[in-house]
Amino acid sequence: MILLSVLHRKTKRNYLGCVNGFPKAKATRVVRQFGYDYWDGARKYGYGGYQYDGRWRIVAESLVRHYELVSWDRILDIRCDRAFLLYEFPQIVLGIKIHGVDVSKYAIENAKPEVKNNLQLASAAELSYVD
């Protein structure tokens, strides 16, 4: 999505070095657990220390402007990770309702405390629409 490009251009990491520097089959077995090693373990497995640093604020601001979000709107973030992006929305738009789902129990347990009550452990494939 073009709205994310401002954030991705700031990244200084050597993406190809991370991807090609470790046996993919071994890394995949670890990554697919979406646990500590993926989020906070060595960089070869995933994020290598995924901590809140405020970088998602500019993405949230772009989304608020683009979609003209207001206080009665609701946001559902599927694959919300540790909910750093979701955390930003109520800071920008008072009264907005947020909810996130992720397949990673570790991510939900280690999400921003301010939004944990708005998160649910679930797979997108398990979600169903309720009218």
pLDDT of residue 82: 92
54: exposed, middle or buried (Cβ count in 10 Å: 0-12, 13-18, 19+): exposed
Give domain 57-126's CATH architecture.
3-Layer(aba) Sandwich (3.40)
- What dihedral angle (degrees, nearest 10) is formed by the CA atoms of 111, 38, 31, 56? 60
* Least confident residue range of 49-58, 72-81, 92-101: 49-58
pLDDT of residue 29: 66
Model confidence at 1: pLDDT above 80: no
* R_g of the chain computed on alpha carbons: 16
User: To the nearest whole percent, how much of the chain has pLDDT over 90?
Assistant: 52
Residue 126 and residue 60 in contact, taking contact as beta carbons nearer than 8 Å: no
Q: Read off the pLDDT band of 31 (50, 70, 90).
A: low
Domain boundaries, the chain: 2-45, 57-126
Reported as a single tens digit per residue, the pLDDT across 60-93 is 999 999 999 999 999 999 999 999 999 999 999 9
